[in-house]
């Protein structure tokens, strides 16, 4: 039996339940080790592995890496943390038969599939993309892996997948194996359609589906195509080449306040239920997926993508990277400084808020380091996001946790080495204005040193060194403004085909984090007062975790 090469055969897998909500999936999971695979409606139909482990229901989104179509290789790779597989069945087979944890942070191991009583009739892409009638709820039951239906002499589930070999080599090394080489812009018509339209409806590629408008509509009739997300909208050549005009007003790129799907209208600081929900949300996403979410939010907050014509007319330039260097960019500079500091505090809280065993804190550290690796140049290329995550890891309240860092080096040696030997020197170079900044490797440049300088912060160090650093920062700011159109194209290419999780996207916005950390009332307090108070809170948490550390 040949190992499947993509997700189209999921309908025939006994553990695949199609479109199923989180709540209904949890009701089917009865014992530790029970698992199923479902298509998540809140994540655009992406596959999610739901399981029960140590009495809790956990959900893990499978990261899908789209590949440029080529003969003899799959159209996508699937991964949870590190290893990539040519199909979802191959991924499930490896984790079940090898009894490997789905994530190092949770240690969750799956062994018993919760299966359908009868096989599904539709494929994965049809189930999630077709506008068909709702399917009735299945009768599901847990059964040992050994009791699964087999074909001939096939072993459990599926035969072991063939080595990826050429598949792995086809990915760019500079991408850190987190995403494939960016594909060409998808066509506005379906990439693939079955010719025999008389017997079954057409099947489309995942990036540009064309969903029938009404059931029973003739296939010959055209249907409205879905609009491209705002971050994929092409820049008008006239706008891209526009010259500076007199600014009309200061501009903010913070999204307007809307009802939160995670916080109530009047929330208290650090509500335990919200923190628990957020922890599960981040555990469900691969670091590469989280990095793309952060890149999207950072591009909007910086004014690199999603800038309207009215905003351009008001600020006199076409990009927030240009506005940052101008006198009337003060409001944007202050917003970005607050965003950087707020993200760093939230990252530190993710570690210091772990009051459980030592391994739990080490796993939180590992998650932050892996996120930083996914944000670095050559991967997502989001340097403001990288700077915020590194700010959390280097915060004194976190860096003093000697036992936690020792446990990280013992349990996750490669991650600890990457932090010491790659990330720390990279961050030092970026802060000194000497790090990578070319469009291509970088989608969003490191703006914090320039922003601090223009807001009057003095450059630390001896006079000769501080003067050289100041000149490098100013030189980098000039090139940053000049190359804004290039950065915009690179960022849009990184996000091509990306469909974010609405909850995770909201959780990474400045407004949400401000309310999470200080509550709906405290969020309006002066910035310096808020940050000083929260630094004291983190200091208390750090002392409680490791009183005997330096």
Tens place of pLDDT per residue across the chain (550 aa) = 333 344 446 777 889 988 888 888 898 999 999 999 998 877 667 789 999 998 888 988 888 777 777 777 787 888 887 788 888 898 998 899 888 899 887 888 999 999 865 544 444 443 443 343 334 444 444 444 434 443 333 333 444 444 444 433 443 333 433 344 444 444 443 333 333 333 333 332 333 333 333 333 333 333 333 445 767 665 554 455 556 566 767 788 887 667 788 898 889 999 999 999 999 889 889 999 999 999 999 999 999 998 888 888 888 888 999 999 998 899 999 999 999 999 999 999 999 999 889 999 999 999 999 999 999 999 999 999 999 999 999 999 999 999 999 999 999 999 999 999 999 999 999 999 888 889 989 999 999 999 999 998 887 778 778 888 889 999 999 999 999 999 999 999 999 888 899 999 999 999 999 999 999 999 989 999 999 999 999 999 999 999 987 6
Place of tokens 């240009």: 322
Q: What's the confidence (pLDDT) of residue 507?
A: 95
- Say which CATH architecture domain 272-545 belongs to: Orthogonal Bundle (1.10)
Q: What's the confidence (pLDDT) of residue 64?
A: 79
Q: What's the confidence (pLDDT) of residue 201?
A: 38
- Cβ atoms of residues 272 and 363 within 8 Å: no
Please give the C-alpha separations between residue 422 and each of 171, 294, 329, 376, 380, in angstroms, as whole numbers: 21, 21, 33, 10, 16
> For residues 309 and 32, what is the distance between their CA atoms, to the nearest angstrom?
54
> For residues 206 and 193, what is the distance between their CA atoms, to the nearest angstrom?
12
Picking from 460, 437, 415, the residue whose alpha carbon sits closest to that of residue 287 is 415
Q: Which two tokens stand for residue 537?
A: 């809170």
> For residues 530 and 503, what is the distance between their CA atoms, to the nearest angstrom?
25
Q: HSE of 409 in the Cβ direction (CA atoms, 13 Å)?
A: 9
Kindly calculate the radius of gyration of the chain based on its CA atoms and give it in whole angstroms: 25
Give the CATH number of domain 16-113. 3.30.505.10
- Cβ atoms of residues 70 and 182 within 8 Å: no
Q: What's the confidence (pLDDT) of residue 148?
A: 41
CATH 3.30.505.10 domain residues, the chain: 16-113
pTM: 0.64
Please give the C-alpha separations between residue 59 and each of 25, 31, 115, 220, 429, in angstroms, as whole numbers: 9, 15, 17, 40, 38
Q: What's the confidence (pLDDT) of residue 336?
A: 96
Picking from 430, 327, 318, the residue whose alpha carbon sits closest to that of residue 381 is 430
Cβ atoms within 10 A of the Cβ of 410, count?
A: 11
> For residues 333 and 335, what is the distance between their CA atoms, to the nearest angstrom?
5
> For residues 225 and 187, what is the distance between their CA atoms, to the nearest angstrom?
11
CATH 1.10.840.10 domain residues, the chain: 272-545
């Amino acid at each position: 039996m040949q190992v499947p090469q993509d997700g189209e055969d999921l309908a025939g897998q006994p553990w695949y339940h199609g479109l199923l909500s989180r709540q209904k999936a949890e009701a089917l999971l009865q014992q530790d080790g029970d698992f199923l695979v479902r298509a998540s409606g809140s994540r655009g139909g992406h596959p999610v592995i739901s399981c029960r482990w140590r009495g809790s229901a956990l959900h893990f989104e499978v990261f899908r890496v789209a590949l440029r179509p080529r003969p003899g290789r799959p159209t996508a790779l699937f991964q949870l943390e590190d290893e990539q597989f040519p199909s979802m069945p191959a991924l499930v087979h490896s984790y079940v038969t090898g009894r490997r944890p789905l994530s190092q942070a949770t240690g969750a191991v799956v062994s018993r599939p919760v299966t359908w009583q009868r096989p599904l009739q539709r494929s994965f892409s049809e189930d999630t993309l077709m506008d068909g009638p709702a399917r009735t709820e299945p009768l599901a039951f847990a059964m040992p892996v050994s009791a699964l239906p087999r074909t001939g002499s096939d072993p459990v589930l599926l035969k072991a997948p063939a080595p990826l070999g050429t598949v792995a080599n086809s990915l760019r090394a500079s991408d850190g194996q987190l995403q494939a080489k960016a594909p060409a812009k998808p066509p506005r018509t379906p990439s693939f359609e079955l010719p025999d339209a008389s017997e079954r409806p057409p099947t489309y590629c995942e990036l540009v589906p064309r969903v029938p408008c009404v059931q029973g509509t003739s296939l010959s009739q055209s249907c409205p195509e879905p609009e491209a997300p705002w971050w994929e909208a092409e820049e008008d050549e006239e706008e891209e080449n526009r010259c500076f005009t007199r600014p009309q007003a200061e501009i903010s790129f913070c999204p307007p306040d809307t009802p939160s799907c995670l916080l109530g209208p009047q929330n208290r600081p650090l509500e335990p239920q919200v923190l628990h929900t957020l922890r599960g949300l981040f555990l469900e996403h691969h670091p590469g997926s989280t990095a793309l979410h952060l890149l999207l939010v950072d591009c909007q907050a910086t004014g690199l993508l999603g800038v309207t014509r009215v905003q351009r007319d008001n600020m006199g330039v076409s990009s927030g990277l240009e506005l940052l260097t101008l006198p009337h960019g003060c409001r944007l500079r202050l917003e970005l400084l607050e965003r950087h500091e707020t993200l760093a505090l939230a990252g530190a809280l993710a570690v210091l808020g772990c009051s459980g065993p030592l391994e739990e804190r080490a796993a939180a550290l590992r998650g932050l380091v892996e996120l930083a690796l996914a944000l670095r140049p050559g991967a997502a290329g989001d340097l403001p996001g990288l700077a915020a995550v590194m700010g959390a890891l280097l915060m004194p309240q976190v860096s003093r946790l000697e036992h936690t860092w020792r446990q990280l080096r013992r349990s996750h040696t490669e991650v600890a080495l990457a932090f010491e030997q790659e990330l720390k020197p990279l961050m030092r170079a970026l802060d000194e204005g000497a790090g990578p900044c070319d469009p291509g490797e970088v989608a969003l440049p490191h703006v914090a040193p320039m922003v601090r300088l223009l807001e009057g912060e003095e450059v630390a160090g001896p006079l000769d060194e501080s003067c050289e650093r100041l000149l490098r920062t100013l030189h980098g700011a000039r090139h940053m403004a000049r190359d804004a159109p290039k950065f915009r194209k690179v960022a849009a290419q990184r996000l091509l085909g990306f469909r974010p999780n609405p909850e995770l996207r909201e959780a990474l916005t400045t407004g949400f984090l401000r309310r999470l950390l200080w509550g709906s009332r405290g969020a309006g307090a002066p910035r310096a007062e808020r940050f000083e108070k929260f630094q004291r809170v983190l200091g208390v948490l750090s002392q409680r975790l490791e009183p005997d550390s330096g």
